[in-house]
Amino acid sequence: MAEEMTKTPTDYSSAAVGWSGFAAVMLILIGVFDIIQGFVAIVEEDYYVGVVGEETAWVFEFSVTSWGWIHLIGGIILVLSGFGIFSGNVLGRTVGVAVAGVAAIYNFAWMPYAPVWSIIVISMCIAVIWALTAHGRDITYS
């Protein structure tokens, strides 16, 4: 009988490693951009005018400074989770999926202030979630 083959930590799929690397780099980039965006919103509140006003009613109507803090804190968490994915463990990938999902949600709520940028970030968050979940079985080992 043939011996059962078990995967070792060195038996990673090249596609899984490549897509995980893509996801990590994208999380770091999105995080850095969120940090910059948050810092700008905190320092110069008038920079983001948006379409929020008396005639519109948005569910998440926060001040621009509040959104700045949300983006700043979210960006720091995104950068840290991007570096966590480079460690190669499942926890880093799980946190990466969760953080990308939360980032997509708060960028959706931020859409009145920066609609084009929010759509770009949401689509990149979806790409990150796909990259981290599509090849999950390829990099596990028993």
Domain ranges in the chain are 16-41+63-134
Give the mean pLDDT of 58-84.
86
pLDDT at residue 141 greater than cutoff 50? no
Q: How far apart are CA 139 and CA 41, in angstroms?
A: 40
Render the burial of 99-126: b for 16+ CB within 10 Å, e for the rest: bbeebbebbebbbbbbeeebeebbebbe
Q: Are 93 and 136 in contact (CB under 8 A)?
A: yes
Q: Is the model's pTM score more than 0.85?
A: no
CB-neighbour burial class of residue 63 (10 A; exposed 0-12, middle 13-18, buried 19+): exposed
Q: Are 107 and 122 in contact (CB under 8 A)?
A: yes
Give the mean pLDDT of 65-76.
91
Phi, psi of 116 (to 5 degrees): -70, -45
pLDDT at residue 73 greater than cutoff 70? yes
81-121 pLDDT, tens digit each = 999 988 877 888 889 999 999 999 999 988 888 889 999 99
